[in-house]
Structure 1
Amino acid sequence: SAALELIRGTVEEVVAERGGGKLSLGLLAALWASSSGVAALIRGLNTAFDVTETRPWWYQRLAALGFTLLFGLQVAVGLTGIFYGETIGAWLAGKLDLGDYFPLVWAVTSSLALVLFVVVTFDLLYNLAPYVDGYAWRWASPGAVFGVSIWLAASFGFRLYLDHFDSYGRTYGSLGTVIVLLLWFHLTGAALLFGAEVNSEILKAERDSLEG
């Protein structure tokens, strides 16, 4: 679709950028601005777990910057898989003479690896971002699985919309790239908060059973 092609073009333009100084300053500015949004997400996670933030402001800002980098890695991995996954699989099959079935095997395994990576990302946020006293570390937690399921369904539905009903590229041109990515970030944040609510309810039930 037009919007997906706009995103692809933007990614390729950034990768091909030769103005290293300008690019570095732009990335630093984007990192600082994005960390404010992540800080708001952390406050949302605190609300989901019914806790009050008491950590110092500098710790909160450093945590937000760290999680912003984690989100950036998730976005980079996701966009690489979406736009270049098939190309990478075909290149490996031809380069290493892996046979005609390798692209299919690559598509399945790379998709599973992407899902696992997102689950780990969600669990890292649930384990580290909210200020929950006595919260035991959990991996592949029910909340992460639930949140990632919502994220996958929303991303798939959004992809179908962009493929068949997209109007962003025709209406907004290059600005459509920003609109599409912001909507996708919004869906990701909503999925994170839904998963946090699930883990919060499980934690409350566990504490109630211990107190009872």
Structure 2
Amino acid sequence: MTFAFPRKLARRIRDSVPRWLAIVGYAARDFVIDGGLHLSAAIAFYAILSLFPLALAGVSMAAWFVDPQWAIEQASGLLGGMTPHADTIRDIIEKAIASRSQANLISIVVLLWAGSRVFAVLIRALNIAFDVDNTYGFFRRLLVELGMLLSVGLLFVGALVVDLLAPALGNLLGEIPHGKAAGLTFIGWTLPALLLAVSFFCLYKFVPRHRCNWQSAALGAAVATALTLAARPLFLTYVGQLASYSHIYGWLAIGIVLLVWAEIVAIITLFGGELASHIQMMAYDGLSGAEVSRRHRRRSPDRAN
């Protein structure tokens, strides 16, 4: 009697494993059917085009309230943390800031609009993953894109920039016995994961026109977060020790490295969306994997056979 509940729980978990593996398999298959690799490349392209306008807009706004050099340091640290070529990133930002005229509201709005272009492609890709039409009107789509920029975009940036804030927060925690080490560990590992998970959850829960329940969105977000956190150190190690982008591409290497990393993140993001969609349809809506795949085939731009 004492061990009845753990045994039943273990049996239920064991019996559900094939079902969840099937959901993951169908999600991966339909990711390919939906043209996920091509859409990821498009998202990566627009992400790189959006990256520097957003960074310049952020530096311009921050310069109104703090020392411009401090703002440049933060933007350089954020972008440099994504690639080993941090010095090149800093030079680009400093030259761009030095050559610009004094920022005004209109120039910042233009930069924000240019930076939001990546979200237009992301909205379309997630609607494809969730098997719905992208029927937003122009003005509503523009509001959705700006809303994503100011919510999901800031959360995602926060997950990347938290390492820059860890030393300052660690000093505040240093007055507490053993607080500094424990605080830095918490900030360095838990907070980025939490911010990433929240940003992915908001993407899957609120962006597609087909709303999924919070369980499906949370599971998709958890998988996407785990894959992103695992991929970042592996990619930086690969670029720093194994790859020879500078020998192949010369001065274009920094752009190529950022583009490859952006595509990896885009693939993870869209796969997480496919997974959330399939969990919703197969685990909660009662559809079979074959029916879900037929729906995706009918909508596939490649008309897969």
TM tier, smaller: 0.7 to 0.9
Per-residue Cα deviation, 1:77-118 (whole angstroms, up to 9, x for no partner)? 244234x2453255335xx5345x444312321120110111
| Cα distance between partner residues in 1 of 2:221 and 2:132 | 19
In the alignment, is residue 87 of structure 1 matched against residue 167 of structure 2? yes
Matched, 1:159 2:230: no
- Equivalent residue, structure 1, for 2:121: 40
Whichever residue aligns with residue 49 of structure 1, its letter is: F
Contact kept? 1:122, 1:192, Cα under 8 Å:
yes
SS state at 2:136 partner: coil
Alignment partner of 1:129 is 2:207: yes
State whether residues 90 and 103 of structure 1, in contact with CA within 8 Å, keep that contact through their aligned partners in structure 2.
yes
The equivalent of 1:55 in structure 2 is 136
Aligned alpha-carbon RMSD (Å): 3.4
Decide whether the 8 Å contact of 1:119 with 1:140 is kept in 2: no
Question: Does residue 149 of structure 1 match 2:226?
Answer: yes
- Tell me how far apart the structure 1 counterparts of residues 221 and 172 of structure 2 sit (CA, whole Å): 32
Distance of 1:60 and 1:147 partners within structure 2 = 25
CA distance in 1: counterparts of 2:120 and 2:175, whole angstroms: 47
Q: Which has the larger radius of gyration?
A: 2
1:56 Cα offset (Å)? 1.6
- Structure 1 regions of 5+ residues with no counterpart? none
Range that drifts further, 16-25 or 176-185: 16-25
- In the superposition, the TM-score normalised over structure 1's length comes to 0.75
Give the number of equivalent residue pairs: 201
Normalising by the residue count of structure 2, what TM-score does the alignment of the two structures yield? 0.55
* Contact residue 170 and residue 184 of structure 2 kept, 8 A: no
How far has the Cα of 1:147 moved from its partner? 0.9
Q: CA deviation at 1:140?
A: 6.6
- Selected match of 1:112 from 190, 197, 215: 190
Candidates 62, 74, 85, aligned match of 1:3: 85
Q: State the AA in 2 paired with 1:65.
A: L
Tell me whether 1:199 sits opposite 2:282 in the alignment.
no
Look up the equivalent residue of 1:121 and give its one-letter code: S
Q: Which amino acid aligns with 1:164?
A: Q
| Contact 1:146–1:195, Cα closer than 8 Å, also in 2 | yes
Shift of 1:138: 4.4
Shift of 1:34: 2.8
